[in-house]
Structure 1
Amino acid sequence: MKKKKWNRVLAVLLMMVMSISLLSGCGGKSTEKEDAETITVYLWSTNLYEKYAPYIQEQLPDINVEFVVGNNDLDFYKFLKKNGGLPDIITCCRFSLHDASPLKDSLMDLSTTNVAGAVYDTYLSNFMNEDGSVNWLPVCADAHGFVVNKDLFEKYDIPLPTDYESFVSACQAFDKVGIRGFTADYYYDYTCMETLQGLSASELSSVDGRKWRTAYSDPDNTKREGLDSTVWPKAFERMEQFIQDTGLSQDDLDMNYDDIVEMYQSGKLAMYFGSSAGVKMFQDQGINTTFLPFFQENGEKWLMTTPYFQVALNRDLTQDETRRKKAMKVLSTMLSEDAQERIIYDGQDLLSYSQDVDLQLTEYLKDVKSVIEENHMYIRIASNDFFSVSKDVVSKMISGEYDAEQAYQSFNSQLLEEEAISENIVLDSQKSYSNRFHSSGGNAAYSVMANTLRGIYGSDVLIATGNSFTGNVLKAGYTEKMAGDMIMPNSLSAYSSKMSGAELKETVKNFVEGYEGGFIPFNRGSLPVFSGISVEIKETDDGYTLSNVTMDGKKVQDNDTFTVTCLAIPKHMEAYPTDENIVFDGGDISVDDTWTAYVSDGDAILAEPEDYMTLR
């Protein structure tokens, strides 16, 4: 009798063990399935999170696209590659093949794909490696040229420039009536760099110019490449002449964007170098404004263009055909006309490098239509070296310290200098955590960041928008720069408040379900991150609904009191529906600065992740 009883007990125990094993196995498979179905896209700016990312997800309902606001820096992706964290799809704005060369062997060759075939050859050549492979493709262009106040030209009966000679004549004519003909925000490195290249876009796009650019960008070139002796000396001569013709001086080096806008609005400035977005902005203010190109020495006209970003795919995708096909669908959608329309600023024309996108110019760019039709859209050389060296050398030319020859020699020698010694490690992460979102638990990497920041801010609860952190926490040594890159770079700020349990639940609801003027989650990966509490969320056809909020396994009570820190960009928190009971303080110091200060001491410790969300 006893034997039968023990047999029954043993049988029950075995069934329980098997059930637990099966459940554990199912949980593991579920996680693996979620990972396999997810394509991770790193966006270079949080602006793309507003309209662009939701549109792509909407077009691809069968693919879970996890968007991460990464960083506008190829060094960031080199670090991810070195430590095994490179995402499926990468975007970057500050880009050059020169800086991207260490990533080449980790990226997919797109040269034979339809999306690459659609790019005009004259533009695709800027992204082609020496071996003919193509790893990066450009999306639409942000056109830079001369923003021109037509009202001033008409008032003083000065003809609009049609070539370089008439441009100089206009500057001289305005000078006689006490108005500045031209200046720009030479406080910034990109303005220095783009002026230098834009003035010689024709020569830099010539056979000799392309030959040098290919050598400079060649990933197989192990030695540092300086300037050539054919094209670049003339470029500095052209820059020197431009400085003389426009009267640029030391004072212009202190000019920032706001200074230029104020001068233009007040009628003190006739022309400045900037984005075509300025045309509509000033037209809306009642200032008759047009847009003109760079006038070249040989009579040609060129626009300086900056791709809003370049995009590349991880080569590991080729090891899984199903995932590769999904990633290619995502890429095709990212490069589609409708998607690109959601990248450009309000009032800008869609200038695409692709033949698949129709050219439909508005009145704002009518004066440069012929330039665009001739494919005279120069894509800038935008390596880290070119940004920093252009700022140094062009500034010294404007101040009168360098002539053309001295500028050329200085620029060349700085390009040839060996890179500085690497920085010290300030954060030694002993574990790696994935930033893939899981329905049961949430995002482990983001939980590590949120829990650590909650400790830094000393709050009971921390709530962060889904775009707050930049991906995996890697098992790696982080320099101060790389540690800083763990935080979303676009003005993420911290706001604190003391509130009741009822107010906390309302705040959590607003972050989960969205509110007018705030960030509205559009897929699982964009849901907010929580620390100090756990939430249950229901996924519906219309979005997400908050079901429950607990702390330490117990429901949050309405009369409880909490200190709460919210991480979001300022414009979203400014729109937050507060009342007299909920007042958020802070926003003055960026989360990036707070985080960098914490890790820079060298003894920072990362918190462990916790399950903070159940999505049903």
Structure 2
Amino acid sequence: MKTKTLRRLFSMLAALVMGLSLLTGCSGKDAERTQKLEDAQTIQVYLWSTSLYENYAPYVQAQLPDVNIEFIVGNNDLDFYKFLQQNGGLPDIITCCRFSLHDAAPLKDSLMNLAMTNEAGAVYNTYLNSFKNEDGSVNWLPVCADAHGFVVNRSLFEQYDIPLPTDYASFAAACQAFEKIGIRGFTADYAYDYTCMETLQGLSAAELTTTAGRKWRTAYSDPANTARVGLDDTVWPGAFERMEQFIQDTHLTADDLALNYDDVTGMFRNGEVAMYFGSSAGVKMFQDEGIDTTFLPFFSQNDEQWIMTTPYFQVALNRDLEQDTARREKAMKVLNVMLSEQAQNRIVSEGQDVLSYSQNVPLRLTEYLKDVRSVVEENHMYIRIASNDFFAVSKDVVSKMIAGELTAAQAYQAFNAKLLAEEEPADNETVLTSGKAYSNVFHANGGSAAFSVMANTLRGVYGTDVLLATANSFTGSVLQADYNQKMAASMIMPNGLMSRQRTMTGAELKETVRAFVEGCEGGFVPFNHGSLPVVSGIAVEVKEANGSYTLTDITRNGQPLGDGDTVTVTCLATEKQMEALLASDSGTSAGEDAWVKNTWRDYVSGGAALAEPENYMTLR
């Protein structure tokens, strides 16, 4: 009897264990299916700056409540996207500001051809030509422009009865007139590569947009061209002659090569220089200070007027989207909103004009650009050639021209030789190896695996009990790849991410986590799942209702966090957000704020290892 009873008990126990195993297996499979569904429904958009993440991304998401968009602050560097491409991590939508079709050539076969889309059709042909490949395909589209030209102190012109320039001859005459009374007519921050590059091109915008100029530019940017392309002998010799004449007319010398932005704007503010090369934002800045300021274009020597423009960013879509009709449709909806007038208004700084390359966005100029309205209406907005080579070589050659070391002919030869020279091999020494790939897609049951890897690793680096980070702290997925120094450094958001360490009570930590999750006055407010913070050393439960988020629970080591507990905490955020998120009375300071990128760079330089991810958030 006892034996039969024991057998029954063992049978019941075995059945119970088997049932639990089946339930666990089903639960695991359900979770896996849910995560795959979340992955499929998510459109990843990589933004090149944190300002876009804070001001632009929330608007785009709000217009598409049925599309789950994962916004990431990536890098303003095409090498970053080439690395993602090579290792299977290219996102759905890419943005980049420091861009040239020449540098983007290796990505061409991985990007959608947008030539026949309505979005490409809306771009004025004058500007679309700068983005066409040799075969007529278009992978990248520009959004609105940042206008660069001459910021002019109009009150100085009136004070000394000097006419405002209307062409190149009167510009040169104004410079001469100011020099005679001891005021610089013109200078610029030639310490920077982009100022050297944009001056060289801006003075010859009319010639660089001719048929011959476009022909050369297309050849230089052609992805199919495996040989290095130098300057042509039709357009470019004249560009250096105009640069040489400009240097003479403005009396630029080697001393100008040391000037940075603060130096130049300080001279302008003090009435020491009448004109400088800058953006239209400078007009508003000085008008707000009470200085009568206006904006003038580049004056070509053929009497045409041109504005140098830099697209705030170029945008491209991953060709893999074409394999899934539903995902492609979602991505195109996102692209359409990103290029809309209302979205572009959120890209520019307050008070700046929206100079769009699209016919779908009406021209509305403020008082700051009223003097160049005719230039804009004529579509004389030159888009700079901004390859890495052009940045570096322009800085070298134009600086030597300003210093009087090169004539126009010598400068042309030097520039051409540098473009044709073979690139020196990059430093590809591996400093970090990830044996597994971790996606940055946010999952309701767990959070982002990639972000957890980064947060857990950095918590170990900082040596604190807890780490809190805003969602824009890390630049996307952790790839199964060997990372060199540059690519490892690019895992950290590049726009001023700071760390602050505190010792807190459990009660103080709860309030700090609440500020990260729910948002706070003057700080960042999460606007979708992917913008929720990342935590390490604790786990949090968050409730979502009507687009807002509420912190409902915090555990540490599986136990509820006690108000009287003492914990060391590292917080990661931009300097602006840090002040709002972390009140001065939240805990005891444990040292000064520091740049996260420097800490991370030092860590990976010493032979880094990545931590394993954890489920850190449950979203209900």
- 1:584 deviates by 4.4
Counterpart-to-counterpart distance in 2, 1:586 and 1:130 = 56
Match for 1:322: what amino acid?
Answer: A
Of 387, 399, 420, 1:383 maps to 387
Counterpart-to-counterpart distance in 1, 2:20 and 2:119 = 54
Match for 1:158: what amino acid?
Answer: I
- 1:499 deviates by 1.0
Measured against aligned partners, the alpha-carbon deviations of 1:546-601 in whole angstroms (never above 9, x if no partner) come to 11111110111111111111111111123345244535455653111111111112
1:81 counterpart residue number: 85
The CA RMSD over aligned residues, in Å, is 1.4
Of 439, 444, 453, 1:439 maps to 444
More moved, 173-182 vs 199-208: 173-182
1:575 counterpart residue number: 580
TM-score by length of 2: 0.97
Match for 2:440: what amino acid?
Answer: N
Measured against aligned partners, the alpha-carbon deviations of 1:194-245 in whole angstroms (never above 9, x if no partner) come to 0000000000000010000000000000001111111111101110110010
Match for 2:374: what amino acid?
Answer: S
Match for 1:595: what amino acid?
Answer: W
Measured against aligned partners, the alpha-carbon deviations of 1:165-200 in whole angstroms (never above 9, x if no partner) come to 000111111111111110001111100100000000
More moved, 201-210 vs 408-417: 408-417
Q: Is the 8 A contact 1:198 1:304 kept in 2?
A: yes
Q: Is the 8 A contact 1:537 1:546 kept in 2?
A: yes
> Structure 2 matches for 1:57-76, cutoff 5 A?
57-76=61-80
In structure 2, the CA distance between the partners of 1:409 and 1:490, relative to structure 1 (3 Å rule), is same
Of 465, 489, 493, 1:484 maps to 489
Q: Matched residues, percent identical?
A: 68
- 1:420 deviates by 1.3
Q: Is the 8 A contact 1:493 1:587 kept in 2?
A: no
> Structure 2 matches for 1:208-287, cutoff 5 A?
208-287=212-291
Q: Does 1:374 align with 2:378?
A: yes
- 1:12 deviates by 4.4
Instruction: Give the 3-state SS of the residue equivalent to 2:375 in structure 1.
Output: helix
Instruction: Give the 3-state SS of the residue equivalent to 2:569 in structure 1.
Output: strand
Unaligned runs of 5+ in 1: none
Instruction: Give the 3-state SS of the residue equivalent to 2:495 in structure 1.
Output: coil
Q: Does 1:116 align with 2:120?
A: yes
Counterpart-to-counterpart distance in 1, 2:132 and 2:466 = 49
1:187 counterpart residue number: 191
Instruction: Give the 3-state SS of the residue equivalent to 1:352 in structure 2.
Output: coil
Match for 1:554: what amino acid?
Answer: Q
Instruction: Give the 3-state SS of the residue equivalent to 1:409 in structure 2.
Output: helix
Q: Is the 8 A contact 1:57 1:65 kept in 2?
A: yes
Q: Is the 8 A contact 1:189 1:391 kept in 2?
A: yes
Q: Is the 8 A contact 1:570 1:587 kept in 2?
A: no
Counterpart-to-counterpart distance in 2, 1:583 and 1:350 = 45
Match for 1:535: what amino acid?
Answer: V
Counterpart-to-counterpart distance in 2, 1:17 and 1:326 = 39
2:48 counterpart residue number: 44
Match for 2:229: what amino acid?
Answer: E
In structure 2, the CA distance between the partners of 1:558 and 1:543, relative to structure 1 (3 Å rule), is same
Of 408, 430, 439, 2:435 maps to 430
1:450 counterpart residue number: 455
Counterpart-to-counterpart distance in 2, 1:258 and 1:517 = 27
- 1:14 deviates by 4.4
Instruction: Give the 3-state SS of the residue equivalent to 1:426 in structure 2.
Output: strand
Unaligned runs of 5+ in 2: none
> Structure 2 matches for 1:303-322, cutoff 5 A?
303-322=307-326
1:103 counterpart residue number: 107
In structure 2, the CA distance between the partners of 1:62 and 1:581, relative to structure 1 (3 Å rule), is closer
> Structure 2 matches for 1:84-163, cutoff 5 A?
84-163=88-167
Counterpart-to-counterpart distance in 2, 1:615 and 1:506 = 18
Match for 2:405: what amino acid?
Answer: E
Counterpart-to-counterpart distance in 1, 2:582 and 2:321 = 43
Counterpart-to-counterpart distance in 2, 1:181 and 1:584 = 50
Q: Does 1:566 align with 2:577?
A: no
Of 534, 541, 547, 1:536 maps to 541
Q: Is the 8 A contact 1:451 1:608 kept in 2?
A: yes
Counterpart-to-counterpart distance in 2, 1:326 and 1:412 = 44
Instruction: Give the 3-state SS of the residue equivalent to 1:437 in structure 2.
Output: coil
Between the two proteins, the alignment pairs up a number of residues equal to 615
Instruction: Give the 3-state SS of the residue equivalent to 2:471 in structure 1.
Output: coil
Instruction: Give the 3-state SS of the residue equivalent to 1:518 in structure 2.
Output: coil
Q: Does 1:33 align with 2:62?
A: no
Q: Is the 8 A contact 1:108 1:135 kept in 2?
A: yes
Instruction: Give the 3-state SS of the residue equivalent to 1:467 in structure 2.
Output: helix
Q: Is the 8 A contact 1:194 1:380 kept in 2?
A: yes
Counterpart-to-counterpart distance in 2, 1:544 and 1:456 = 30
Q: Is the 8 A contact 2:155 2:293 kept in 1?
A: yes
Match for 2:338: what amino acid?
Answer: M
Q: Is the 8 A contact 2:516 2:581 kept in 1?
A: no
Measured against aligned partners, the alpha-carbon deviations of 1:34-84 in whole angstroms (never above 9, x if no partner) come to 111100000000110111000000000000100000000000000000000
- 1:18 deviates by 3.2
Counterpart-to-counterpart distance in 2, 1:337 and 1:389 = 36
Instruction: Give the 3-state SS of the residue equivalent to 2:343 in structure 1.
Output: helix
- 1:8 deviates by 5.4
> Structure 2 matches for 1:510-549, cutoff 5 A?
510-549=515-554
Instruction: Give the 3-state SS of the residue equivalent to 2:22 in structure 1.
Output: helix
Instruction: Give the 3-state SS of the residue equivalent to 1:125 in structure 2.
Output: helix
Match for 2:424: what amino acid?
Answer: A
Counterpart-to-counterpart distance in 1, 2:15 and 2:591 = 61
Instruction: Give the 3-state SS of the residue equivalent to 2:447 in structure 1.
Output: strand
Match for 1:206: what amino acid?
Answer: T
In structure 2, the CA distance between the partners of 1:345 and 1:59, relative to structure 1 (3 Å rule), is same
